[in-house]
Structure formats: C-alpha cells, structure tokens
A and B are shown apart, each in its own frame.
Chain A
C-alpha cells in the first residue's frame, strides 16, 4: 500500500496541514503584534477633548502638546500628558 500512498500523497500536497498552520499563525501573530503596539481606540477622542478644555484657559498649540499611554510592568497603565507652556503663561 505504500506504493499507492506515495502516488496519492502527491495530489494532496496543495492543502497540507503545515500550510494551514502557517496561514493561521500569520493571521494570529499579526493580530497580536498589532494589539501589542496599539494605543487604545479612545485615545484620539480623549486627546481632542483634553485640548478643548485646556484651550478654555490657556493657549496650547498642537506642537506643544503630547499625550501618551504607556504600559509599565504589565499591570500599570500610565497616561502621560506633556504641555509646553509659554513664558507669559508661566508667570500667571
């Protein structure tokens, strides 16, 4: 029967389990890598909202403002906000 298997196997080659494995891995790994680096969905909206509030009181240009969400040691999320104040505002 080994002879028969030998010829049959050639035909089956198109969808091997190894190629299925590769395809599944490529999808899941890409997905997980994406999550690893991704900022949460709400971050752009949060940024907008914070800027609106800030601009009620002080002048903040887009360049002097940055927001960053960082994950420290796996269990601590740190929201970091950097606002560069201009000289006249500091003295107020």
Chain B
C-alpha cells in the first residue's frame, strides 16, 4: 500500500513546494517509487522547482476529465527513474477536482508507487482540502513566525476533522512538523521562535528543521531540488528528513549558530 503524504501549511510561501520536491526526490534516490502531485490547480509550480516545466504536455485535470491517461500525464524525472511528477493544470478552474475523481487517480497511482506526495496549495479552500483529504500522513511546513504557526494550527484542525480518515473514524492522519527557514543565530538573539517554542505551541512530533539557506534559491533557479546540493545545510537537513520518514533515528543538526571567533564578535560582521 502506498503511503499518501500531504505537504501542507495553510500559509503560502513557507516552502511546501521546495519541501515536496526535496523529499520526493530524496525518497526516490533511496530506491522507492515516488509520485509527486501538484494540487495547486491554476498556479502550477512544482514542475518549475523540479526542472521539468518544458516537458508538461498533459496535467492532473486532463486526467480527471479523461482527456489523457495517467501515463500520458506523468513526467518521468530525468535524474531518478523511480520518480514521476503529475503537474497541476494552469488554466482550469479549481472545482475540477472532487473527492471521487481524485480518489480514483490516487487509487490508480497506489498500484504502482510506494509514496504519493501531495503538494498542497496555500489556504484552506477546496484545493487544499482536496490535497489533504486522502492523506495518511501530513508534513506541516511551518516558518518560525507568528502567522505561519497560527495557520499551521488551523491546518491541524482541518486534518483532524476534514480528512477521509476523520470522516470514516479511522486512525488519524500522522502529523509531522517541518520547520523551514530556521535561523539559529536569530533564535539565539531572541528574534525568532525556537524549535522548542513551535513544538510547544503546535504539539506535534518534529520531522525536521531546515535552516535558512541561500542554497534553496539557487536550487529553484536551476530546477534542481535542494536535496541534490549535498554540500549545503538545507540539502543535508532534507536528507535527514527523508531518513526519518523511512524510520531511521537521525540526530537534529543546524540548530545552533556557528560560533564566531572573538575578533568577528568584537568588530562586528
């Protein structure tokens, strides 16, 4: 049975697509069959982050409407053969997706893939609800910042009440906290909520902490998920996330600021 994982947040711009791309690719690199689905109907972006934007022919809504088969719409990743991407459509209206037709597509994908990663749109509208409805697990992507934490809490409420698992009274969705754009230096200076603060407020298990990193922008510029940048802190942190998802116990890193020498402390910089 495929594990259906939704990457969600409520708030926009916190790193859902970056995280979906990195985690999806990371799982595929470990030899698992992975499909990444872009649920952001109208605002397709996962293709760009994955670097396959010029290979999009058919999309999710084409499949739903029977205008293309799933195999026609799926884009095979050029780097890892066990990874596929199902792009969102750009022009169709959001109401194209409903529980029934999305359920059918997921069921079909579940026959082939080990992991189905659903990249949710921002907000709490129909699109976001559709992305989380069938999830077994949720990666709640959060920035250490007040509006993001509050929105994450709202999404946790939705996961607990509006998902298929909630409606059928099944075991609840397994929730994971992914803290992104973390700056240990600012935390130490009392300018940013710490990991512990966010854990205290949201009280869900921590899956990973991704440090604020210039590598993320470079990765999206190039269309190469940041996990491929194995030298970068963000790349390493995503690798840890993947290992944890696969059940390994990995110590958290990049939680403290690099210690500066006495000279740079005294003279700034």
Residues of A within 8 A of B (CB): 1-3, 6, 9, 12-13, 16-19, 21-22, 24-26, 28-29, 32-33, 36, 73-74
With A1-B268, A33-B157 given, is the CB distance from A25 to B201 under 8 Å?
Answer: yes
Q: Which of B236-269 contact A (CB under 8 A)?
A: 265-269
B265: chain A residues at CB < 8 Å are: 2-3, 6
Please report whether the interface of chain A is mostly helix, strand, loop or mixed according to DSSP: helix
Q: Is the CB of B187 within 8 A of A3?
A: no
B194: chain A residues at CB < 8 Å are: 18
Q: Which of B175-206 contact A (CB under 8 A)?
A: 187, 189-194, 197, 200-202
Identify A22's interface contact among B150, B157, B201, B268, CB under 8 A: B201
- Name the CB-closest residue of B to A37: B157
Query: Given the complex of chains A and B, what is the CA–CA distance between A25 and B201 in angstroms?
Result: 7
With A2-B265, A3-B266, A25-B201 given, is the CB distance from A16 to B153 under 8 Å?
Answer: no
B43: chain A residues at CB < 8 Å are: none
Q: Is the CB of B193 within 8 A of A32?
A: no
B189: chain A residues at CB < 8 Å are: 9, 16
Q: Is the CB of B150 within 8 A of A17?
A: no
Min CB distance, A5 to chain B, in Å? 8
Q: Is the CB of A36 within 8 A of B266?
A: no
**How many contacts A-B (CB < 8 Å)?**
59
B197: chain A residues at CB < 8 Å are: 18, 21-22
Query: Given the complex of chains A and B, what is the CA–CA distance between A16 and B153 in angstroms?
Result: 23
Min CB distance, A41 to chain B, in Å? 20
Min CB distance, A10 to chain B, in Å? 11
With A18-B187, A22-B193, A22-B200 given, is the CB distance from A29 to B150 under 8 Å?
Answer: yes
Query: Given the complex of chains A and B, what is the CA–CA distance between A17 and B186 in angstroms?
Result: 11
- Name the CB-closest residue of A to B196: A22
Q: Is the CB of A18 within 8 A of B193?
A: yes
With A17-B190, A18-B187, A18-B194 given, is the CB distance from A28 to B157 under 8 Å?
Answer: no
